[in-house]
Amino acid sequence: MEYYLHLEIINSRGEVVLHSRRAFSWISSSVEAKFIGIVWAVESIGSHQMEKVIFASEIVGAVKRPRAWPSFRAYGSEIREALRRCTDWEMSAVSIVANKGAFLIAKSVTSEQKVQSYVASGAPNWLRDMIEEERCAP
């Protein structure tokens, strides 16, 4: 099965500095895709030499509390190993509802056949208004 993962890098003012989408065809489940996505995000942050990063994901517990997630121990270990390359990082939980921009970009892959992997600066043009509204919301 093929999965498409999305990465947004947002600065302290809530502005999208960089976004990326990548296709993976060898992933067997959505849970595995989420873990591979975190590793990919950590590696991407390292290659862009960014510091003081907060990684937001639905599966943060596997990294922060591995004993509570025994089925995902190997994934958590792989993520923690990748995080050793980051100097200043934090992980926080986020739901799909709270991360609407990333969800819409991932959804565009299937609904609009946008299947190419890419890295681009700023936010996608078609999402700029929505991202700005989210950034300014209380």
Buried/exposed 23-44: b ≥16 CB within 10 Å, e otherwise = ebeebeeeebbbbbbbebbbeb
pLDDT digits (tens, 9 = 90+) for 42-61: 888 888 888 888 887 777 87
- Give me the pLDDT at residue 99, please: 66
- For the chain, the residue count is 138
Stated as kind and residue range, the H or E segment containing 20 is strand 16-24
Angle at 9 between CA 23 and CA 79, to 5 degrees: 65
- Give me the pLDDT at residue 36, please: 86
- In the chain, the domains with their CATH numbers are 3-130 (3.30.420)
- Give me the pLDDT at residue 102, please: 67
Residue 63 CB coordination number (10 Å): 22
Percent of the chain with pLDDT over 90: 0
What mean pLDDT do residues 62-83 have? 84
